[in-house]
Chain A
């Protein structure tokens, strides 16, 4: 008798009032692991990720059901629309909270207070509710009213200040990086609160400052100041003790390899593979401290050699001899990476046929739990896709009541004021330098490498 393995969070119901990444990404991870996540959104105030980065850059028709970032952040969720400015809408939300385990939101405290959705309000409806608020700077304090995006919290945390080229300004990557740092800590926080609730039956309020989660990951920089009164200068890709440690050019346009030769053995192997064995015994580079002291000179010499190589080939050669090295993968390399492929990292998800989006691969999760695996991937919801399921089946609203809610604009299936962001053409984006290149046969390449999932019975 073999029973199908079940996801660990089956039976946990989460109401999400999220936007963008910090809460949606975290709730997606919990949804993947079996929680029933009901994501609430507004027809009045369109979620930004429904209006930008749409499939084929085509903003005609129901573009709000084709947002790539929306699909990325909201897999495996049920989606409903609710107008909270209407008393009946708010009462539906409160009714949902009364039958849920977790309420998660990332609006400013002002919004939550206005709607009377604070923890003190919710625990009256559901005494053991876990409420998670994720804000830029925290739910309390003089900055609590300030809105934030990922770059604001990366800046405030101290992380951006420490990062950048040695002779340049602070730097951050081209994604809202700390939104993910916050999201990762949020998954953990919800799990810790669920563990406590499982043991004691008690809920609680979890107050996540996205900035604090980011600062938690740069402790040595903060403590170097508190203990030694020192702030280290920005040092690009250099390492405080290892050299060579950097990013070096390879053959082709904007192609690179990262190399970190951690000890004398790796250094000698690197010299051998590059055909410059004489460097291994050169007194400027013969031991770790000498290499570190002469690191700028060494980086220049290495760049002269790596430029003769194809990045993946050099990585294979170096790794084959135990040297820590990695080709700098662009987004296409990352998607087609043979290692991630063998690990099954990308999960192919089918989209509702009205979207005309073919099944597409999405990044899955950084963990595998073979004894209680993730649920099969379902695409993020269309706007209002699960109104009927959630309000009708779960809250027992009749068809007539549903029609009435729709007539009053409390629920809906499309934004009230649809305003998409039209991105410039791909040619223009390449000209501006936003994109490295584009390929016209990408649909064929993607569908061949990632065939649609076989329908489970």
Chain B
């Protein structure tokens, strides 16, 4: 079996919910040794729907199961002196500690960065938080929708005459988790070269605000403030309805596009007009063009159009439902979906590798841990606790 890219990187994972666990999942699935430390009540993500067969239970949240593959799981009550002491012992031989508590929590537990640094100067501490570790919004409460609002993405998302919108599910958290995984490895790269640790600060708001093409730039370059556009203006690559779903035609905004080719492909002689033949003209006559395109696409079938367009090297997109994603020949060819066995759910199908590394493949080496599943093995191997110690700690609610 080939090794993972991050073989030998030891991660202490104090994260919960989505952003932190996605960071440590990326590390774990690519070979890092991740020990997830949960409070005795468990990661609250264990209670996020949807659930396996709609039955609630600590191992039935599909999101939790996905986010915690390849990790070992232990429980520790960090509010007890013994629990805290055990955590500090784990810090001693870890490379990385990742946490996504509110910024005041780690210091209040007695785990501020200077304390951790004193225990292990090589430790990379990664803190993921809503707004970062300082600044006037530091202690603001937030979840995904508030991050969309304050990250600048919401204002340009949705219909012209309706309230701004956000993506479904937990996009802000996933973005921050990915960025945190990258930042972790940047700091680890530095650590491997110099032996130095540091405290990395990752902000969810900034994760959104650092990926907004032509938003702030529009103001700094022209003084204009963007907004949600009417369906028929400007950018022509917009979702259009077909007879059986939705498609994303790209009628072309780039300067190199051959408009006659577009007219032929759409079999739409009414588009053979100077009003539409250049990118600048298409922008000026966007409303009329949009109406014509809507009419044309309503008569078409989405996959027919999609494949026909790509034969001509027109860049079209197709809107796929989860069912269509699962049936998609491309995903199948790539082996994207994988089956993972879990003691509670049995074998179920998960999204797999986000990207392929030929030399060091993605590998979910184990399912998400049940609560405290690896208490015995981790505490015995890493801390030398005997079986009777563990029983006592369980009785004292330390683990």
**B-contacting residues, A362-378, CB 8 Å:** 362-372
Q: Give the CA-CA distance A443 to B6 in the complex, in Å.
A: 47
Is the CB–CB distance between B165 and A363 below 8 Å? no
A61 adjacent to chain B (CB < 8 Å) = no
B266 adjacent to chain A (CB < 8 Å) = no
Is the CB–CB distance between A247 and B223 below 8 Å? no
Q: Give the CA-CA distance A198 to B188 in the complex, in Å.
A: 11
Is the CB–CB distance between A142 and B329 below 8 Å? yes
Which residues of A sit under 8 angstroms from B224, Cβ to Cβ?
426, 429-430, 435, 437-438
Is the CB–CB distance between A159 and B168 below 8 Å? yes
CB proximity of B149 to chain A, nearest CB, Å: 4
Is the CB–CB distance between A247 and B164 below 8 Å? yes
B152 adjacent to chain A (CB < 8 Å) = yes
Partner of B283, one of A326, A340, A424: A424
A151 adjacent to chain B (CB < 8 Å) = yes
Is the CB–CB distance between B50 and A436 below 8 Å? no
Is the CB–CB distance between A199 and B319 below 8 Å? no
CB proximity of A426 to chain B, nearest CB, Å: 6
- Give per-residue flags for B232-254: 1 if the beta carbon is below 8 A from chain A beta carbons, else 0: 01110101010000111010011
Which residues of A sit under 8 angstroms from B197, Cβ to Cβ?
371
**B-contacting residues, A43-87, CB 8 Å:** 45-46, 48, 51-57, 68-69, 71-73
Q: Give the CA-CA distance A53 to B220 in the complex, in Å.
A: 11
Is the CB–CB distance between B357 and A169 below 8 Å? no
- Give per-residue flags for A367-392: 1 if the beta carbon is below 8 A from chain B beta carbons, else 0: 11111100000000000000000000
Which residues of A sit under 8 angstroms from B48, Cβ to Cβ?
220
Given the known A-B contacts A204-B357, A331-B155, A369-B187, are A164 and B317 also in contact in the complex, defined by CB atoms under 8 Å? no
Q: Who on chain B is nearest to A54 by CB? A: B221
Main DSSP-derived SS at the B contact region: mixed
A288 adjacent to chain B (CB < 8 Å) = no
**A-contacting residues, B205-244, CB 8 Å:** 205-207, 209-230, 233-235, 237, 239, 241
**A-contacting residues, B104-153, CB 8 Å:** 131-132, 134-137, 140-143, 145-153
**A-contacting residues, B346-377, CB 8 Å:** 348-351, 353-360
B265 adjacent to chain A (CB < 8 Å) = no
**A-contacting residues, B150-196, CB 8 Å:** 150-160, 162-171, 174-176, 178-183, 185-190, 192-193, 196
Is the CB–CB distance between B153 and A324 below 8 Å? no
Is the CB–CB distance between A224 and B226 below 8 Å? no
Is the CB–CB distance between B326 and A246 below 8 Å? no
Is the CB–CB distance between B315 and A148 below 8 Å? yes
Partner of A212, one of B203, B235, B241, B355: B355
Given the known A-B contacts A165-B162, A175-B212, are A152 and B248 also in contact in the complex, defined by CB atoms under 8 Å? yes
Which residues of A sit under 8 angstroms from B355, Cβ to Cβ?
185-186, 189, 206-209, 212-213
Given the known A-B contacts A155-B318, A221-B169, A257-B149, are A72 and B156 also in contact in the complex, defined by CB atoms under 8 Å? no
Is the CB–CB distance between A53 and B217 below 8 Å? yes
Q: Give the CA-CA distance A111 to B191 in the complex, in Å.
A: 38
Total A-B pairs in contact (CB under 8 Å)?
574
Given the known A-B contacts A151-B317, A187-B182, A246-B163, are A234 and B168 also in contact in the complex, defined by CB atoms under 8 Å? yes
Which residues of A sit under 8 angstroms from B174, Cβ to Cβ?
181, 216-217
- Give per-residue flags for B246-269: 1 if the beta carbon is below 8 A from chain A beta carbons, else 0: 111010011110000000000000
Q: Who on chain B is nearest to A303 by CB? A: B163
B280 adjacent to chain A (CB < 8 Å) = yes
CB proximity of A131 to chain B, nearest CB, Å: 9
Which residues of B sit under 8 angstroms from A429, Cβ to Cβ?
224, 234
A1 adjacent to chain B (CB < 8 Å) = no
CB proximity of B168 to chain A, nearest CB, Å: 4
Is the CB–CB distance between B199 and A237 below 8 Å? no
Q: Give the CA-CA distance A260 to B142 in the complex, in Å.
A: 8
Q: Who on chain A is nearest to B173 by CB? A: A217
Partner of B310, one of A119, A146, A216: A146
Partner of A207, one of B9, B49, B235, B356: B356
Q: Give the CA-CA distance A300 to B306 in the complex, in Å.
A: 40
Which residues of B sit under 8 angstroms from A157, Cβ to Cβ?
320, 325
Is the CB–CB distance between B143 and A195 below 8 Å? no
A115 adjacent to chain B (CB < 8 Å) = no
Is the CB–CB distance between B210 and A204 below 8 Å? no
Is the CB–CB distance between B323 and A231 below 8 Å? yes
Given the known A-B contacts A149-B315, A218-B168, are A175 and B358 also in contact in the complex, defined by CB atoms under 8 Å? no
Is the CB–CB distance between B330 and A137 below 8 Å? yes
21 contacts between A and B (CB under 8 A): A8-B187, A56-B221, A137-B330, A155-B247, A161-B319, A162-B169, A163-B166, A173-B167, A177-B167, A227-B50, A260-B142, A266-B141, A327-B150, A331-B152, A335-B216, A338-B136, A343-B132, A343-B203, A360-B220, A435-B218, A437-B225
The winner among B143, B233, B317 for most chain A CB atoms within 10 A is B317
Partner of B233, one of A163, A254, A434: A434
Is the CB–CB distance between A162 and B220 below 8 Å? no
Partner of B213, one of A69, A329, A332, A369: A69
Q: Give the CA-CA distance A333 to B221 in the complex, in Å.
A: 15
Which residues of B sit under 8 angstroms from A332, Cβ to Cβ?
219, 225
Is the CB–CB distance between A221 and B198 below 8 Å? no
**B-contacting residues, A135-185, CB 8 Å:** 137-138, 140-149, 151-165, 168-177, 179-181, 183-185
CB proximity of B226 to chain A, nearest CB, Å: 6
Q: Who on chain B is nearest to A434 by CB? A: B234
B389 adjacent to chain A (CB < 8 Å) = no
Given the known A-B contacts A207-B358, A257-B149, A438-B224, are A216 and B351 also in contact in the complex, defined by CB atoms under 8 Å? yes
B98 adjacent to chain A (CB < 8 Å) = no
Which residues of B sit under 8 angstroms from A54, Cβ to Cβ?
221
The winner among A51, A55, A184 for most chain B CB atoms within 10 A is A184
Partner of B200, one of A204, A262, A367: A367
The winner among A162, A257, A328 for most chain B CB atoms within 10 A is A328
Q: Which stretch in B79-87, B331-339, B380-388 binds the other chain?
A: B331-339
Partner of A223, one of B186, B330, B331, B348: B348
Which residues of B sit under 8 angstroms from A212, Cβ to Cβ?
331, 334, 336, 353-355
Is the CB–CB distance between A158 and B321 below 8 Å? yes
Q: Who on chain A is nearest to B175 by CB? A: A184
Partner of A329, one of B63, B149, B233: B149
Which residues of A sit under 8 angstroms from B255, Cβ to Cβ?
46, 48, 51, 419-421
Partner of B317, one of A156, A196, A247: A156
Is the CB–CB distance between A223 and B66 below 8 Å? yes
B202 adjacent to chain A (CB < 8 Å) = yes
- Other A-B contacts than A140-B334, A163-B168, A363-B206, 7 sampled, CB-CB below 8 A, are A141-B329, A256-B163, A330-B227, A339-B137, A367-B186, A369-B200, A433-B230
A432 adjacent to chain B (CB < 8 Å) = yes
Which residues of B sit under 8 angstroms from A140, Cβ to Cβ?
333-334
Q: Give the CA-CA distance A183 to B351 in the complex, in Å.
A: 19
Is the CB–CB distance between B325 and A222 below 8 Å? yes
Which residues of A sit under 8 angstroms from B225, Cβ to Cβ?
330-332, 435-439
Which residues of B sit under 8 angstroms from A106, Cβ to Cβ?
none
Which residues of A sit under 8 angstroms from B146, Cβ to Cβ?
258-260, 324-326
B201 adjacent to chain A (CB < 8 Å) = yes
